[in-house]
Every structure is written in C-alpha cells, then in structure tokens.
Structure 1
Amino acid sequence: MVEHGIHRIDTGFHRPRFDASHLVVEGSRAAFIDCGTNHSVPRLLHALAAAGLTPAAVDWLILTHVHLDHAGGAGELLARLPNARLVVHPRGARHMIDPTQLIAGATAVYGEAEMQRSYGTLRPVPAQRVVEAADGHVVELAGRALVCLDTPGHARHHNAIHDERSASVFTGDCFGLSYREFDTARGAFIIPTTSPVQFDPDAMHASIERVLECAPRALHLTHFGRIAEPRRCGDDLHEQIDAMVAIARRHAQAGDRHAAIAAELAALYLARARTHGCEVDAARLAALLDVDIELNAQGLEVWLERAR
C-alpha cells in the first residue's frame, strides 16, 4: 500500500525483505532515498516505471550514509537518471566522488570475489552532481521538504531524513533494524545496529532522541520498511544499546572475545523476541539475524579497542 507517495522497494540484497530503497513521489517529481547495490538498479527503475514515471522525473538520490548496502549502487543509478543529483552527508561525499577507499575496505573484509558478487564495481559520482547535506539541509521535492538530520552513532556520516509531509522519518541505520518476520500483535520487533567501524553508544542514544523529537507517526527503515510506535521502539533500542555495551565489556578480556560476544548477542535477541511474542526458535533467529549478529559483534569489538 502506497501512502503519501512513499513506495518501498526491496533491493534484493542478501535476502528478501532485508534491504530497502524508498521512492518518494510528489506530483510528477520523485526522489530515491538509499539505493542498495549496483545489482539493485533494475529493481529501482522498475519501481519508478510502475509508479508511472520516467528516469527524467527523478530530481534526487538521497543517501542516509555511504555503507554499500545503502549507497553502493549510487553511481550506476545516477548514470540512468539524467536530472538527478546526489545528496549525502559532508563526511560521505568524497567517498561517492572517489570510492577507492570504500572498495578497498570492503574488499579487505569480503575478498574480491565476494565484493563483485554482492556489490559489483562501484562507479564514481561526478563531483558536480553531489550536494553535501549538513544538519538541517532541506531537499526540496516539488514543494515537499525533506530535511536532513545529522544522526551519528552507527556512522559519523549519517543523515536521517525527516519528511514533514508524511510526518515520518527515513532512518537509514540510526534507528536500528526491524524485520517483518518478527512482527507480532505487539507490533514491530527492533534491534540496534552497531556494525563497524564507527559505533558510538552515546551518539546513537542521542540520534534516537533526535529522530523522536520530530514527533513522527511512522519510521521508514532501510532494514526493513515502515514501522509505527516510534517511542516504544526507541525505548527498546535504548535498553538494548546499554545491554550490548555491557555484553562487550563483560567479554573484553576473553580469549575468544568475538565468539563470546556474538553468542551472548544471539541470546539477548532471542530472549527479547520471545518476550515480544515471536514464536521463533534459536536456529530460525540465527538464520534471519546471522549477518547482523556478526556485524554487531565486530562493531562492539572495534568500539572496545577505541575506548581503551
């Protein structure tokens, strides 16, 4: 169902209902918020056509941040959108113009073969098409204000996007992850994302409150889709951030630190899912959250090392 001209697009990254781009349509003009990877571009163009629009109708590609599951396809998508400009946090702009460091970092983690399989070859964005969006920057879409909010904690180059027209916020990763497989009569189940390398618990707490200060009726998460009850979900995130930091500190000196942190994170999420009313066993939860548990454990370890 499309409300306020907001279309959710499954980018196809990793698994179904894991990674979303959002198409915002106002009159005859449009903007994408986040874009997935190079492999996602055909899906985004198909969604645009399904909305009755051509590539020339897109004025903006707005990135919440430059992690590759959100921004890897930016160059390829913009090459197909003749009138669009890229909006990105000032700290992330240079990585879109010259993605060399993004490529090197991802290749070091995943290897060349996996880099190509998951992301493809990153295409630079021409500098003249890049708009640096500092805190409070307003993207104007046919009279509709999309306001960029500096929201670090997950990454220092992160903006959430407040859509005043729909009273909602596109949160990228600053307001956690919520997969539809965990929905119950109690609503959305949500967990934080502390993935490496810039997790900062104090900043993440502050960014959650920054989003809530907008008094949104709904949130649109890249992982994955629309959720309601922002205040309740925010409170859940605050509790878990503190619990996750405590887990990291508890295992800081362990010889098998990574495995210990990951195992306790899985136990935390399973216990909270059960309390939320999710009838999910440990194996199913591990299958759905495998990537997130691994990245969250890595992020907590990087934070531990930085805090020494």
Structure 2
Amino acid sequence: MSTENTITPLGGDVYEIDTRMAGHSGITAGYLILSDRPCLVEPGTSGSAPTVQRALTELGVGPADLATVVVTHIHLDHAGGVGDIARMYPQAEIVVHEKGARHLASPERLMRSARMVYGDLLDTLFGEMKPTDAARIRAVEETGVIDLGGGRQLRSHYSPGHAKHHVGLLDSLTGDLYVGDAAGVYIPETADVRPATPPPDFDLDTALASLDKFRALGAQRLLFAHYGPVDAVAETLERSAEELRIWVDAVRDAHGQGMDVDHAVAAVQERIAGRYKAYGPDADPELARKYEVLNGVASNVAGIMHSLDRLA
C-alpha cells in the first residue's frame, strides 16, 4: 500500500498518519512528532501496524530511531498495535497511564473482554493485541513528561471519564493537545462532535472535569484520534461538553422510564435527530456508516446506562 494518502504534515514537525483502521480512511489517526527524539502518539490497531510502519519509513524513521510510543488510553483502536510497533522499533519506550500498563504487558484479559463485546468482528476491526515487554513500559500517573529532545516536551495530563486509564498530551513547542477520546469524536467532513461514552468506565462528572482540565491548559490546537486537527479549541471543547450532557439527559429519561438498552437507543436517536450533519438526510451514507462502526449509538447508550446503574 502506498503511503501517499496516509501522511499529512501539520506543521511543527508533526505528521498525521491515517492508520486505515479496518481498511477505512479517515477513521483513526496516529501522529508522529519528528523531533530530535521522534515520538509516535496513538499507534492504532494491530492490523494498522504495517501501515504505520510504512508511514514512519517514508518519514525517515527507521527501526532504531523511534524514541517513544505514547497511548492516550488502552482501547484497541488506539493501543491495539503497541505490541507490534514495540517489536518493529526495539529502542522505543512505551508510555501509558498506570491503570493501563499491566494490560499492555499482559493483554489476555483485555482481549477476552473485547471479544465478548465484538465477537468475530474483533479480528476485522482490531486484530490481536500482542504483549509488550514490561521492562519497556513507563507508567505515568496524574502527570508525566516525555522528552522530545531539544528542550521540547510532551506532558501527559490524567483525563478519565471516557476511560479510567486516559491521558491528554500537551506539546510544549506547538501547544498541540492530543485529546484521545476524552473530547469525543470529531468528524472533519462536517465539523460535528459526538460523544464517546462506551462501557465500562464512562462517568459524566469525571468526563466534564477532564474537559475543564483541557480548557485550563491553554492549548493552541486539538489533535483528535478520531479525527484530525481542530483550531477552534474553546468552541470545540464546549461543544464536547454540551453533547455529553444532551446524550446523558436523553438516556437518563429513558432509564427513568425503565427502558432497556434497545428502547433507550431508539429514544436517543429520536432526541439527537438533526444534530449532526454527517447523519442528516443530505449526508453521504457511507460517512454515516463509517462513523457508526467507530462510534455507534448502541455502544454510547450502553456506557451511559452502565454509569447510571452504577450511580443507582
């Protein structure tokens, strides 16, 4: 496969890499910071590892050159390829939040849980996460610092709510904030923002507090794993919070009426009808299908229902 359409320069020695998750373009992005100590943020799925490797080779990063691989969290669309990339780049340190570190070293439990959710679709969407040598994993806590060389740093900021092992990452040189899934899913074709609230970790108050933390960081640009760069930082973070509240209110109403997940999904779809251009009557149906794979209503509703049950 050619790398011609997988690499987009973003300035500041940052390159967006389309990881071509499950063969889709524009669904999951990794980012290479081509600093003195090259750093890969979000390697993507196991199935994406060869695509990412080709892109790094095209950008001049060989097997001994990659200094660091950082994941915002350990969900398979972000971190499923860590073990593969670690083997391809044996000098790279792997950085992850402490709550996710053991799953990178021993991914069996994570894979069992994922297979229960996705069934046979798991292999098509993600592939199998390979274990990473525990000696190469550095766990960060509330904050952490990744040395990019030349005085440049990537600082991690613990940002749970979407997942209990989630961090945001701020580049000291560019002001880029890698938001993972904490600010939801950005659809560049339509500038829509949708929440990402899968089970089992979603919690509204925690997620909103993480968005407040992101606002306080004073980022110049948001870099979404799904998908791409966004310059309108304050407006986008506010929209992210607004969408979370709307979805949770809709599910809470359904939950209060004793609805099961299927009926709650229908109620939410009715409540959000017309909010997103990507899902409107004039939208490209393939675009809607692509994002439903990544960010399905049923998964989001199930995560919110789970959080309401936990509160109750």
Deviation digits for residues 246-298 of structure 1, max 9, x if unmatched?
A: 11111115565323332343345442235x9x774495674244231222111
Give yes or no for the alignment of 1:135 onto 2:142.
Answer: yes
**2:226 is equivalent to residue 223 of structure 1:** yes
**Matched residue, 1:304:** 308
What is aligned with 2:5? Answer: none
- Aligned pairs (5 A) from 1:47-196: 47-111=55-119, 113-142=120-149, 143-182=151-190, 188-196=191-199
Residue 96 of structure 1: how far off its partner (Å): 0.5
Partner of 2:29: 20
Q: Distance in 2 between matches of 1:302 and 1:36?
A: 26
Q: Is the 8 A contact 1:45 1:55 kept in 2?
A: no
- Tell me if 1:203 matches 2:206: yes
SS in 2 for 1:57: coil
Corresponding position of 1:259? 262
* Aligned mates of 2:254, 2:40 — CA distance in 1: 41
Partner SS for 1:54: coil
Secondary structure at 1:21 match in 2: strand
Tell me which moved more, 75-84 or 260-269. Answer: 260-269
SS at match of 2:157: strand
Q: Helix, strand or coil for the counterpart of 1:65? A: coil
Please tell me whether the aligned partners of residues 154 and 195 of structure 1 are also in contact (alpha carbons under 8 angstroms).
Answer: yes
1:38 offset after TM fit, Å? 1.1
Query: What is the distance in 1 between the residues matched to 2:269 and 2:93?
Result: 40
Matched residues in 2 for 1:134 and 1:61: separation? 17
Q: Which runs of 4+ in 1 moved over 6 A?
A: none
Cα drift, residue 63 of structure 1 = 0.7
8 Å contact from structure 2 (residues 193, 243) kept in 1: no
What are the superposed Cα offsets for residues 137-162 of structure 1, whole Å, 9 maximum, x if unpaired? 10001132000000001011101101
Structure 1 residue 181: Cα displacement = 2.0
Instruction: List gaps (5 residues or longer) in structure 1.
Output: 183-187
Decide whether the 8 Å contact of 1:48 with 1:55 is kept in 2.
no
User: How has the CA–CA distance of structure 1 residues 228 and 268 changed in structure 2, closer, same or farther, with 3 Å as cutoff?
Assistant: farther
Residue 54 and residue 286 in structure 1: after superposition, are their counterparts in 2 closer, same or farther (change >3 A)? closer
1:33 aligns with 2:41: yes
What is the aligned residue count?
300
Higher mean displacement: 203-212 or 12-21: 12-21
How many Å separate the matches in 1 of 2:282 and 2:272?
A: 11
Structure 1 residues 124 and 108: CA distance shift in structure 2, 3 A: same
Q: TM-score, normalised by structure 2?
A: 0.90
Q: What is the one-letter code of the residue matched to 1:287?
A: R
Rounded to whole Å, the distance in 2 between the matches of 1:82 and 1:66 is: 20
How far apart, in 2, do the equivalents of 1:95 and 1:81 lie? 20
Answer yes or no: is the 8 Å Cα contact 1:41–1:73 preserved in 2.
yes
* Structure 1 residue 31: Cα displacement: 0.8
Task: Report the secondary structure of 1:271's partner residue.
Answer: coil
Q: Using the alignment, how far apart are the partners of 1:297 and 1:283 within structure 2?
A: 22
Is residue 217–residue 228 contact of structure 1 (8 Å, CA) maintained in 2? yes
Deviation at 1:106, TM superposition (A): 0.7
Q: How big is the shift at 1:164?
A: 1.3
From 231, 249, 252, give the equivalent of 1:246.
249
2:60 partner SS = coil
When normalised by structure 1's length, the TM-score is 0.91
In structure 2, the residue matched to 1:185 is none
Distance between the aligned counterparts of 2:250 and 2:89, measured in 1?
45
Q: 1:261 to 1:87 in 2, by over 3 A?
A: same
The one-letter code sitting in structure 2 at the alignment partner of 1:45 is Q
Q: Any stretches of 5+ residues in structure 2 without a counterpart?
A: 1-8
Cα deviation, residue 55, structure 1: 2.2
